[in-house]
């Protein structure tokens, strides 16, 4: 008898933890179904896309004493995010997943919500961007955790986390 067959027979001897007709009740809230690595990466890419458009919007409406510096910096952040969106899409294709790029689908999958507030002050804009940075970082960390068994993806996502954290730290300095 092979070792594998022996182990499978031994495992089959253990009674199941839950009988077939038994209902297990829990006070715990129902968990969402587990997302695949591709789904998590796609959600992160969608959040980055909405975040990119939000940054570009703020880039054009920002006013105030530090207009030029803030305007240029937001453009730099938007360019960095745009490059990361492309890398996420390429990684998804590499993983045999075809990302959809229909704007309504992207917005529905994104955890970052686009905010139109043309009369916002510089501090309100920065505060909103910082909240959105936190959402993006949370998505990125979820992607890194999900990709634990895919070294290339995890390394790529970890590098993106570092870049986003650096820009978040820099944008905090623009608060008046």
Residue 60, domain member (yes or no): yes
Residue 26, domain member (yes or no): no
The total of structural domains in the chain comes to: 1
CATH code of the domain covering residue 161: 1.20.1260.10
Distance from C-alpha of 16 to C-alpha of 149, rounded to nearest angstrom: 28
* Domain of residue 49, residue span: 36-172
Of 125, 56, 52, the residue nearest 82 (C-alpha):
52
What is the pLDDT at residue 65? 77
Is residue 174 pLDDT above 90, yes or no?
no
Angle between helices 67-94 and 37-61 (to 10 degrees): 160
Of 151, 147, 53, 30, the residue nearest 103 (C-alpha):
53
Residue 18, domain member (yes or no): no
Residue 6, domain member (yes or no): no
Residue 127, domain member (yes or no): yes
Residue 40, domain member (yes or no): yes
Tens-place pLDDT, residues 103-162: 899 999 999 998 887 667 788 888 999 999 999 999 999 999 999 888 899 999 999 999
Tens-place pLDDT, residues 41-99: 999 999 999 999 999 999 888 887 778 888 899 999 999 999 999 999 999 999 999 88
Residue 22, domain member (yes or no): no
Residue 62, domain member (yes or no): yes
**Residue 2: both structure tokens together:** 């092979």
**Residue 79: both structure tokens together:** 């360019």
Q: CA torsion sign, 137 to 143 to 149 to 154? A: negative
């Amino acid at each position: 008898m092979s070792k594998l067959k022996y182990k499978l027979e031994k495992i089959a001897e253990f009674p199941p933890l839950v009988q077939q007709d038994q209902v297990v009740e829990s006070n715990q809230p129902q968990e969402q179904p587990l997302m695949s690595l591709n789904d998590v990466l796609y959600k992160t890419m969608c959040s980055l896309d909405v975040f990119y458009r939000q940054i570009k919007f703020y880039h054009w409406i920002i006013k105030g004493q530090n207009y030029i510096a803030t305007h240029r910096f937001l453009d730099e952040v938007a360019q960095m995010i745009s490059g990361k969106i492309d890398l996420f899409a390429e990684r998804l294709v590499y993983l045999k997943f075809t990302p959809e790029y229909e704007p309504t689908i992207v917005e529905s999958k994104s955890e970052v919500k686009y905010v139109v507030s043309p009369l916002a002050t510089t501090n309100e804009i920065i505060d909103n961007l910082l909240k959105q940075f936190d959402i993006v970082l949370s998505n990125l960390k979820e992607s890194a955790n999900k990709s634990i068994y895919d070294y290339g993806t995890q390394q790529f996502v970890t590098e993106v986390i570092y870049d986003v954290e650096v820009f978040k730290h820099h944008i905090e300095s623009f608060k008046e």
